[in-house]
Amino acid sequence: MFLKDNLYRYLKQQKELFGDLLFVDKHKFGNHKKNFMNGYTLQEFHDSICLCNKCNLAKNRNQFVFGKGDANADLMFVGEAPGEKEDQKGEPFVGRAGKLLDKILRAINKNREKDVFITNVVKCRPPNNRDPLPSEIEKCEPYLKEQISMINPKLIVALGLVAARTLLKIDIPLKKMRGITHSYAGIPLRVTYHPAALLRNQKLKKGAWEDFQWVQNYLNTN
């Protein structure tokens, strides 16, 4: 029964991620407990989806921005989409907003290389840094779901409205999502401002700092 149930879950997962193209690695079936419980690594997952062309964003991208950080992270950040710098380098949050995020992480004794994983809702840059379209999010969201499942962090932080609405499936202002511990697939989730919003509006920084202090306290006690 264990093997049957997990085989069904694995095939359903592959269908959601890859459509009718079944992604099979014969080495994954040597140990069914490992294989059906996300036995492949993040790098293997990246390699299996980095040529994705499910939506029009793939046509003009320079880099597929999968995400970066600790595969065993306790803390996972989800932004909305890569920008120009990210598209060039192939890593999330490397522009001005990324530098600000790094400063905030250092202030709570974290860094993006250890105990943190950073990714976005969509993995390719939208033209002119516009918000991703619902159709683009729909195509890319299964990849995000799989990343979250594989990393299984203690806490997810949604950076900005696009990420928050995608993960929580609620259409309310960001300010009404802040200060509440939500749940995503059984994992606690908090919402805060996107670092780019903090660069545009200095008045938001006080609230963002309160959000990150809560994150620090939560991780220190859980």
Bridge partners, residue 187, by sequence: 184
User: Is residue 29 included in any domain, yes or no?
Assistant: no
Q: What is the mean pLDDT of residues 194-215?
A: 97
* pLDDT given for residue 165 in this prediction: 97
Give the angle subtended at the CA of 37 by the CAs of 54 and 6, to the nearest 5°.
90
* pLDDT given for residue 17 in this prediction: 52
User: Is residue 141 included in any domain, yes or no?
Assistant: yes
**Could you give the number of structural domains in the chain?**
1
User: Is residue 144 included in any domain, yes or no?
Assistant: yes
User: Is residue 36 included in any domain, yes or no?
Assistant: no
Q: Alpha carbon of 25 to those of 44, 53, 211: distances in Å?
A: 10, 21, 42
* pLDDT given for residue 37 in this prediction: 43
Residue 80 phi, psi (nearest 5): -100, -50
Q: Which residues, other chains included, contact 132 with Cβ-Cβ below 8 Å and sequence gap of 6+? A: 57, 80, 81, 121, 122, 126, 140, 162
Residue 11 has pLDDT above 90, yes or no: no
User: Is residue 159 included in any domain, yes or no?
Assistant: yes
Binned at pLDDT 50, 70 and 90, residue 40 comes out as confident
User: Is residue 44 included in any domain, yes or no?
Assistant: no
* pLDDT given for residue 126 in this prediction: 97
First to last CA, the chain: 34
CATH code, domain with 108 = 3.40.470.10
Binned at pLDDT 50, 70 and 90, residue 16 comes out as low
Instruction: Compute the CA torsion angle 159, 162, 165, 167 (nearest 10 deg).
Output: -60
Residue 67 CB neighbours (<10 A): 23
For the entire predicted model, the pTM comes to 0.83
* pLDDT given for residue 15 in this prediction: 54
* pLDDT given for residue 113 in this prediction: 84
User: Is residue 164 included in any domain, yes or no?
Assistant: yes
Q: What value does the mean pLDDT of the chain take?
A: 87
Instruction: Determine whether 137 is exposed, middle or buried from the number of CB atoms within 10 Å of its CB (0-12, 13-18, 19+).
Output: buried
Query: For residues 17 and 100, which has the higher predicted lDDT (pLDDT)?
Result: 100
* pLDDT given for residue 114 in this prediction: 87
The lowest-confidence range among 27-36, 128-137, 162-171, 183-192 is: 27-36
* pLDDT given for residue 151 in this prediction: 95
Residue 81 has pLDDT above 70, yes or no: yes
Tens digits of residue pLDDT in 107-118 = 999 998 888 999
Query: 215 lies in which domain range?
Result: 64-221
User: Is residue 1 included in any domain, yes or no?
Assistant: no
* pLDDT given for residue 76 in this prediction: 98
Query: For residues 178 and 18, which has the higher predicted lDDT (pLDDT)?
Result: 178
In three-state secondary structure terms, 184 is strand
* pLDDT given for residue 19 in this prediction: 54
